[in-house]
Amino acid sequence: MASTFRRIAFVVAGPALLLAQVGSGGDGGSQTTAPQPSKVTTVARTMAAAPAGGPLTISSPAFADGAPIPVRYTCRGANIAPPLTWSAPLGAALVVDDPDAVGGTYVHWIVIGIPPGPGNTADGQTPDGATSLPNSGGHAGYTGPCPPAGTGVHHYRFTLYQVPATLHLPPGLGGPRAALAITQATTAQAQLIGTVEG
């Protein structure tokens, strides 16, 4: 099943990195936003900065962009990371978070050191050659979606950030602080969103 993508153009003005969303959207116009993605309720995931070797992309054979995440990959199932497929021509980092979490954005998984080129993982795997950092719960690995009952639909963002494969963060850095450091080092991003009903 093919996903629908919008293209995002990057504009660099001095130290500021801006994203200009191009194409027909719900509001019918172009939009400029900061590089840190805001709460997402639409299907618009691939950001194309045309890096050498092809675009930055991320998808999953387990669920389509904007579709529900299978129970197997949540706390109600096996609580393992879903399989992923990506292309990261210049190296990347992955952040999985929930902007709809009751106490503020909750980081479920951070992976740095994803080597340049295409890649994929099977159920429960960390990308080869990469390292998981502590998430918001202090666990260095994937913690599946687990929204409290009655909190509505949560949108889980699997964001692949284009960063050097050699990016090093301070020891012990994790959770939202590590995610912020990654967004500050990125030059492009691609995003896959899955939903889980609370």
Beta strands at 92-98 and 153-162: parallel, antiparallel or unpaired: antiparallel
pLDDT digits (tens, 9 = 90+) for 31-51: 333 344 433 333 333 333 434
Higher pLDDT, 23 or 161: 161
Q: pTM value?
A: 0.74
Of the listed ranges 54-58, 68-72, 74-78, 155-159, the least confidently predicted one is 54-58
pLDDT digits (tens, 9 = 90+) for 68-122: 999 999 999 999 999 999 999 999 999 999 999 999 999 999 999 999 999 999 9
The CA distance from 25 to 20, in Å, is 12
- SS3 of residue 98 by DSSP: strand
The CA distance from 66 to 85, in Å, is 16
Strand ranges (E), the chain: 7-13, 16-22, 31-33, 57-59, 85-88, 92-98, 106-114, 117-120, 131-133, 153-162, 188-197
CA dihedral (9, 11, 17, 22) positive or negative: negative
Higher pLDDT, 20 or 77: 77
**Comparing C-alpha atoms, which of 111, 103, 118 is closest to residue 159?**
111
pLDDT digits (tens, 9 = 90+) for 129-144: 999 999 999 999 999 9
**Comparing C-alpha atoms, which of 125, 105, 115 is closest to residue 179?**
105
Token pair of 143, please? 């913690």
Higher pLDDT, 169 or 155: 155
Burial (CB < 10 A; 0-12, 13-18, 19+), residue 133, is: buried
Ordered structural domains, the chain, with CATH: 39-197 (3.90.280.10)
Average pLDDT, the chain: 79
Mean pLDDT along residues 164-185 = 89
Count of Cβ atoms closer than 10 Å to residue 158 Cβ = 26
